[in-house]
Amino acid sequence: MSKTRFLKRGDKVLTLFKAKPGLFRIIQIQGNRLSRRLEDLGILSGTVITKIKVKGDKDTAPAIRVVTKERKGVLGGGMSLKIWVDYQGSIITLTSLPPNATGVVKELSGGQFMVDAVGLLGIREGEEVTFLHRLPPMDYVVRVDGRRIRVGEGAAAKVWGTKEGRPVQLTALGAGRLLVVDKIAGGMTSVEHLEKLGIMPESKILVEGVEPRQNIGIGRTRLVLIQSPDGMELWLGEREASNITGVIVT
């Protein structure tokens, strides 16, 4: 199907990520996985969707609290946007679920590091996961081998140790609790960022408390909220929104 059939003279083609809020006609969706999932929602070339304006801390993907049959835990915002779940017959990103809603995992669109990381929380294809709520931007104030630092909630969720013979996230510990790091559940960017803070396997972390975020953090994923023609709202990350091109409808 020719993309030019959806263009008019003078139309300026741009990405969904860069488009201003309002009506947006899709010209092309790059990536087979993304195009397949959006097509399931009735969103394809020629479809007019609505980009919804988001404000404040919703401009960046917040960490979320989830629960599976294995455990309750925290997911960084970027990871939650790569988990596609079946909710009431629609395949949407995990972070698009309403609070306290449960979906069945259909696809993990990240790499093997991401698959292994979310697997520690019991998030696997075919398994149920319940989205509890979004978390406000917070810093975990900790001492790492005696040095006081701040770690954003998304990064803290990637730090795992063992308590009473069971895997546990740094985010699960309260003030005064000590964790010996077993592994960093994330890709090289996360590993390198945490290593710069002195956090790596065998590091000893003492939690002092949790405080409001002082800065935006490293590598925080920016969010785009869209609405399909039938009213379904869907959160997408910057990467996905940048792979959708089209024109603003006036």
The pLDDT confidence band at residue 2, using thresholds 50, 70 and 90, is low
Contacts for 151 with CB less than 8 Å, ≥ 6 apart: 139, 140, 142, 159, 170, 194, 197, 199
Examine residue 36 and state whether it is found in any structural domain, yes or no: yes
Average pLDDT over residues 91-106: 95
Q: Specify the pLDDT at position 230.
A: 87
pLDDT (0 to 100) of residue 4: 59
Note whether 204 and 226 are same-domain residues.
no
Within a domain: residue 113? yes
Query: How far is residue 44's CA from residue 28's CA, in Å, rounded to a whole number?
Result: 8
Question: Are residues 178 and 170 in contact, defined by beta-carbon separation less than 8 angstroms?
Answer: no
pLDDT digits (tens, 9 = 90+) for 44-94: 999 999 999 887 555 677 889 999 999 999 998 888 999 999 999 999 999
Q: In sequence order, what are the residues at sequence separation of 6 or more whose Cβ sits closer than 8 angstroms to the Cβ of residue 35?
A: 29, 44
Residues 78 and 35 in one domain: no
pLDDT digits (tens, 9 = 90+) for 200-246: 999 999 999 998 876 555 556 788 999 999 888 899 988 899 999 99
Same domain, 123 and 153: no
Domain extent at residue 155: 138-212
**What's the predicted TM-score (pTM) here?**
0.81
Domain boundary among 134, 164, 188: 134
Is 1 a domain residue?
no
Residues 51 and 89 in one domain: no
- In this structure, are 73 and 92 located in the same domain? yes
71 and 119 inside one domain:
yes
CATH code, domain with 40: 2.30.30.90
- The domain tally of the chain equals 3
Residues 80 and 121 in one domain: yes
What is the C-alpha separation between 16 and 19, in angstroms, rounded?
5
What is residue 106's three-state secondary structure?
strand
